[in-house]
């Protein structure tokens, strides 16, 4: 069975889902958009655009919040499994998450060692593997929030404090945290700017923010395809320069950055700082980014992948 046949067999009707159009860039507010793709890696008719001013790539139109909630509850893992040709569910994914937790320990270790006993919020924490690993290794007190009930159920087995839902819709009240982590999650957010602002308000002034991105630029080059680097479960496709502008604008200074072993992810350790709301990527960097995308698009047709 080909990849396309496996995806079709899942039965997810993306075209019929309720969608909203995004008129302004979530990072800089510009309405000058460049259409990059008309389909995503699954073959769905999903359009990705990029802001001509800052280079932020986003799905536009994108599914409404209620559609994403239903997607993560029922369709996300079956669709990813069909794409890769192997079962990836709330149980099997924990092996990969453990390896990732150990890799993130290298980035975060110097900043977490002095924080024993402090509170830790893991946003998009999935099955809780990273949270429990950090709790055992550094003695911090974790809470996991994730929109997928099956994954929260696995996190509950660790005895973790858990919250089921989208972080964008969660009301934290007056809760504050010493450490906030967002691992392999930011690309899934429906509003990156608002979520980073919420995290900044959640974080104590001497707190620590840990976050990573799937580098869209690296993914395009690695796949030799812009389409294969986009997917409906990533409403935003972030680059280093866009992410670092987001951090500056929402009130974070980068303490350390690290590249994953597969060169696909970029991770950041950050501290709270005064927001720099006018920070934008250099125009030359954005021009180079678009030039690279055109070179990738014009080089050769992407291998559709029948794996």
Q: In sequence order, what E strands does 29-172 have?
A: 33-37, 48-51, 57-59, 62-63, 119-123, 141-146, 161-164
* Radius of gyration for the chain, computed over Cα atoms and rounded to the nearest angstrom: 19
- Residue 233 backbone zone (phi > 0: left; psi -120 to 50: alpha; other: beta): alpha
99-115 mean pLDDT: 90
pLDDT at 258 over 70: yes
Measured CA to CA, the distance from residue 188 to residue 235 in angstroms comes to 6
Does residue 266 have a pLDDT over 90?
yes
Which pLDDT belongs to residue 306? 41
Distances (CA, A) of 237 to 23, 79, 91, 149, 156: 17, 19, 27, 25, 30
Average pLDDT in the chain: 93
Which residues, including other chains, have CB under 8 Å from residue 94's CB and lie 6 or more apart?
Answer: 127, 129, 154
- Residue 212: helix, strand or coil by DSSP? strand
Rounded CA-CA distance 191/179 in Å is 21
Q: Averaged over 191-205, what is the pLDDT?
A: 96
Compute the average pLDDT of residues 96-112.
Answer: 88
What is the SS3 assignment for 18?
coil
To 10 degrees, the CA torsion angle through 275, 279, 285, 286? 100
pLDDT of the residue at 300? 63
Of all helices (H) and strands (E), which one includes residue 237? strand 236-237
Q: Distance (Å, rounded) from C-alpha 57 to C-alpha 216? A: 8
Contact 133, 277 (CB under 8 A): no
> Lowest mean pLDDT: which of 40-44, 66-70, 104-108, 214-218?
104-108
pLDDT at 80 over 80: yes
Mean pLDDT of 196-222: 96
Alpha-carbon span 128 to 109, nearest angstrom? 18
């Amino acid at each position: 069975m080909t990849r396309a046949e496996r995806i079709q067999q899942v039965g997810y009707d993306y075209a019929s889902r309720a969608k909203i159009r995004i008129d302004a860039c979530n990072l800089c507010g510009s309405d000058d958009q460049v259409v990059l793709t008309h389909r995503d890696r699954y073959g769905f008719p999903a359009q990705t655009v990029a802001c001509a001013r800052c280079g932020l790539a986003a799905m536009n139109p994108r599914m409404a919040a209620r559609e994403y909630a239903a997607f993560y509850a029922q369709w996300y893992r079956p669709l990813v499994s069909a794409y890769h040709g192997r079962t990836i569910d709330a149980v099997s994914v924990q092996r990969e998450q453990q390896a990732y937790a150990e890799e993130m320990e290298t980035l975060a270790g110097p900043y977490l060692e002095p924080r024993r006993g402090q509170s830790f919020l893991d946003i998009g924490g999935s099955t809780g593997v990273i949270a429990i690993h950090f709790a055992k290794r550094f003695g911090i007190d974790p809470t996991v929030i994730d929109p997928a009930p099956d994954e929260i159920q696995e996190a509950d087995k660790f005895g973790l404090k858990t919250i089921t839902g989208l972080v964008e819709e969660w009301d934290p009240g007056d809760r504050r945290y010493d450490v906030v982590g967002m691992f392999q999650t930011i690309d899934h957010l429906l509003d990156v700017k608002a979520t980073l602002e919420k995290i900044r308000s959640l974080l104590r002034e001497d707190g620590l923010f840990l976050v990573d991105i799937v580098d869209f630029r690296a993914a395009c080059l690695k796949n030799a395809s812009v389409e294969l680097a986009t997917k409906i479960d990533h409403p935003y496709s972030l680059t280093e320069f866009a992410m670092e502008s987001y951090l500056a604008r929402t009130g974070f200074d980068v303490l350390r950055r690290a590249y994953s072993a597969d060169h696909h992810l970029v991770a950041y350790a950050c501290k709270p700082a005064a927001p720099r709301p006018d920070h934008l990527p250099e125009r030359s960097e954005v021009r180079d980014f678009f030039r690279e995308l055109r070179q990738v698009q014009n080089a050769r047709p992407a291998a559709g992948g029948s794996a």
